[in-house]
Amino acid sequence: MDPLKPLVVVSKCLTFDHCRYNGHMISDPFIEKMKPFVDFVPVCPEMAIHLGVPRNPIRLIFENEQFQLVQPATGKTLTTEMKTFLERWLTRLDGVDGFLLKSRSPSCGIKDVKVYPSMESKSALKKAKGYFGMQIDQFYPYLIMEDEGRLSNAHIREHFLARLYLQAGFRRLKKNFSVAHLIDFHTRNKYLFMAYHQSGLKKMGVLVANAKRLNEKQVLEDYQELIQTMFSRLPRTGSMINALLHCFGYVSDKLNTDERSYFLDLIQQYKEKHVPLSVLLSLMKSWIVRFKEPYLAQQTLFSPYPMQLLDLSDSGKNE
């Protein structure tokens, strides 16, 4: 089977083209690192509606109970053009697994975009998603959306990659659906799911157990909805510890007393934020290899994305 390559929509100004309003391009080492392992679909909504480069900046305003995109220097309202383009473009988009967009952009920002009360106002009213982000929420509410700024946080980046590759695997499952393939997918991701949401895992288990008696379309929709719910937030420390202890049960009787004590001591240190999760995962992987545990060896919890995307320079930061 070919390696998974998620399909990711990316803001074109992030390493792909000099298309920012000032003609600049953003250099991003992490996106460069991702390129061999991800199929990117670059897009610049502002260029797509013919604003050109360089161009006068646009802003998001909230007026008459509606969000509008405007260009103060020219007095133009661009909402209709932008909405028409995005609806057409998003409708034609096929097989996408996630979105990686430019932070704070009035069009592409996913949060912290300044919203003004009028075209002329000098003070922001509040912060919200950019116009593109709002449209993505309507067309692809179940997919992950991040910006390059937030991915400087190690924990957020690991969550983004894990969910991205999980979604790519689920997309592959949908293309070649069978109950057997669903069971295999569910089995391989069991402890990753447990690390995010134990009660959600139980609901998934019930759905998989009854899949033969249910409509295929309904099974896939319900399973996708559970993934969305479970991965809507970063994994909590307690849930991750619970998953690790379940995995530890497969090897604990093969370890000596000192090894068992060492692992449990590391669990406590992780709980107290003295060691990063990567230390525990690495130790567990060494035991999986040592004791040739085939069930644990297939678990995506221990390799949710290609190891080449790991960034050891900030291992443990922001956890």
| Digitized pLDDT (tens) for each residue of the chain, 319 residues in all | 788 999 999 999 999 999 999 999 999 999 999 999 999 999 999 999 999 999 999 999 999 899 999 999 999 999 999 999 999 999 999 999 999 999 999 999 999 999 999 999 999 999 999 999 999 999 999 999 999 999 999 999 999 999 999 999 999 999 999 999 999 999 999 999 999 999 999 999 999 999 999 999 999 999 999 999 999 999 999 999 999 999 999 999 999 999 999 999 999 999 999 999 999 999 999 999 999 999 999 999 999 999 999 876 554 444 4
Q: What are the beta bridge partners of residue 66?
A: 63
Domain count, the chain: 2
Same domain, 143 and 176: no
The residue behind tokens 């020219």 is 74
Residue 51 contacts residue 44 (beta carbons within 8 Å): no
The pLDDT, as a whole number, for residue 82 is: 98
H helical segments located in the chain:
29-34, 45-48, 79-92, 131-139, 154-175, 179-188, 190-196, 198-209, 216-230, 237-248, 257-271, 277-291, 294-297
Same domain, 172 and 248: yes
The pLDDT, as a whole number, for residue 310 is: 85
The pLDDT, as a whole number, for residue 62 is: 96
Which of 107, 123, 152 lies at the terminal end of a domain, its last residue?
152
Return d(Cα 132, Cα 90) in angstroms, integer.
Answer: 10
Same domain, 74 and 131: yes
From first CA to last CA, the distance across the chain in angstroms is: 34
Same domain, 193 and 211: yes
| 2 in a structural domain | no
Residue 60 contacts residue 52 (beta carbons within 8 Å): no
Same domain, 113 and 229: no
Which of 128, 152, 176 lies at the terminal end of a domain, its last residue?
152
**DSSP 3-state percent helix, strand, coil across the chain (nearest 5):** 50, 15, 35
**Conformational region of residue 104, where left means phi above 0, alpha means psi within -120 to 50, and beta covers everything else:** left
Token couple for 174: 């949908």
Same domain, 74 and 186: no
Same domain, 280 and 171: yes
Same domain, 138 and 221: no
Range of the domain at 297: 153-319
The pLDDT, as a whole number, for residue 3 is: 87
The pLDDT, as a whole number, for residue 311 is: 76
- pLDDT tens digits, one per residue of 32-78: 999 999 999 999 999 999 999 999 999 999 998 999 999 999 999 99
Token couple for 177: 């659906």
Return d(Cα 311, Cα 309) in angstroms, integer.
Answer: 6
Same domain, 97 and 190: no
Q: Can you give the pTM of this predicted structure? A: 0.94
Sheet with 98-101, side-by-side order of all strands: 39-43, 7-11, 98-101, 144-147
Which of 152, 175, 192 lies at the terminal end of a domain, its last residue?
152
Sheet with 59-63, side-by-side order of all strands: 76-77, 66-71, 59-63, 113-116, 126-128
Same domain, 44 and 71: yes
Strand duo 39-43 + 113-116: pairing: unpaired
| 1 in a structural domain | no
Question: Per-residue b/e over 256-267, b at no fewer than 16 CB within 10 Å?
Answer: eeeeeeebeebb
Same domain, 132 and 160: no
What is the dihedral sign for C-alpha 295, 237, 311, 3? positive
Cα–Cα distances in angstroms (integers) from residue 241 to residues 158, 233, 237, 263, 315, in the given order? 17, 16, 6, 11, 18
The pLDDT, as a whole number, for residue 313 is: 58
Same domain, 183 and 298: yes
Return d(Cα 160, Cα 155) in angstroms, integer.
Answer: 9
Cα–Cα distances in angstroms (integers) from residue 208 to residues 1, 79, 217, 284, in the given order? 23, 44, 13, 28
The pLDDT, as a whole number, for residue 160 is: 98
The pLDDT, as a whole number, for residue 315 is: 47
User: Cβ of 138: how many Cβ atoms within 10 Å?
Assistant: 10
> How far does CA 160 lie from the centroid of its chain?
3
